[in-house]
Structure 1
Amino acid sequence: MENNAAILALAALAQPTRLETFRLLVKHEPTGIPAGELARVLEVPQNTMSAHLSTLARAGLVKSERQSRSIIYRADLDVFRELTLFLIQDCCGGRAELCAPLIASLNPCCAPEPLPS
């Protein structure tokens, strides 16, 4: 990830409603949430939510898909992963022992399903 893309993503997340929106979208992966539902859950007027979603989309953090009369928004986890890796790529100057607690805390909240034998 380039510096400018990281700055754009971080700036998009540096606002309470957009940060809350992005976190809610991450929780609802992979199905996503309709724009109107996001506005209702976060108690934000629909036109305001639309502006926030546009900012997040310009930063590459969310993507949308029309389904019938609704627009479903989803977090772009690939871009989120790139941003996270960008932020920690030079973690602790290469001293793995200093990064160990950080890396351990990045374990996913849900353990992957074991592959069938």
Structure 2
Amino acid sequence: MDTADAVAALGALAQESRLKVFRLLVQEGPEGIPAGEIARRLEVPHNTLSSHLAILARARLVTSRKESRSVIYSVNIEGTRELLSFLVEDCCRGAPQLCAPLIASTLADCCIT
């Protein structure tokens, strides 16, 4: 991940509703949940949610897939891992292995692919 991508991802998260959506999708894991369920749980209007999800998707933090008539959204584990790795890659004066436990604990076993 380069600096521009990191700025885009952090910018996507720098809004309350989008951060709530991202955290909800992290909690749900790779299975994801339908857009309508996200809107219901977070009490966000569907059209507003659609814009938020598009921003998160462009930042590679969420993915979507079609199932029947529903669009299922889930956290993009790889994009999230890249962002977290970028943030700590210069950890401890060039010793990123010292921050490896931070990344490992942040992306629990259920999320490591």
Q: TM-score, normalised by structure 2?
A: 0.86
Q: Deviation per CA, 1:72-98: give whole Å up to 9, x if none.
A: 0011010100000000000121357xx
Structure 2 residue runs of 5 or longer lacking an equivalent are none
Q: Does the CA-based 8 Å contact 2:62-2:75 persist in structure 1?
A: yes
Q: How does 1:11-90 map to 2 (within 5 A)?
A: 11-90=11-90
Identity %: 50
1:9 aligned onto 2:6: no
Q: Does the CA-based 8 Å contact 2:85-2:103 persist in structure 1?
A: no
Structure 1 residue runs of 5 or longer lacking an equivalent are 113-117
Q: Which runs of 4+ in 1 moved over 4 A?
A: 102-107, 109-112
1:108 is paired with a residue whose SS is helix
Q: CA deviation at 1:5?
A: 0.7
2:105 is paired with a residue whose SS is coil
Higher Cα Rg, which structure: 1
Q: CA deviation at 1:104?
A: 4.3
- Greater helix percent: which structure? 2
Q: Deviation per CA, 1:91-111: give whole Å up to 9, x if none.
A: 121357xx85x5545443756
Q: How many residues align?
A: 109
Give the partner amino acid of 1:38: I
Within 2, Cα distance between the matches of 1:5 and 1:108?
Answer: 23
Give the partner amino acid of 1:57: A
1:72 is paired with a residue whose SS is strand
Within 1, Cα distance between the matches of 2:71 and 2:11?
Answer: 24
Give the partner amino acid of 2:43: E
Within 2, Cα distance between the matches of 1:62 and 1:105?
Answer: 21
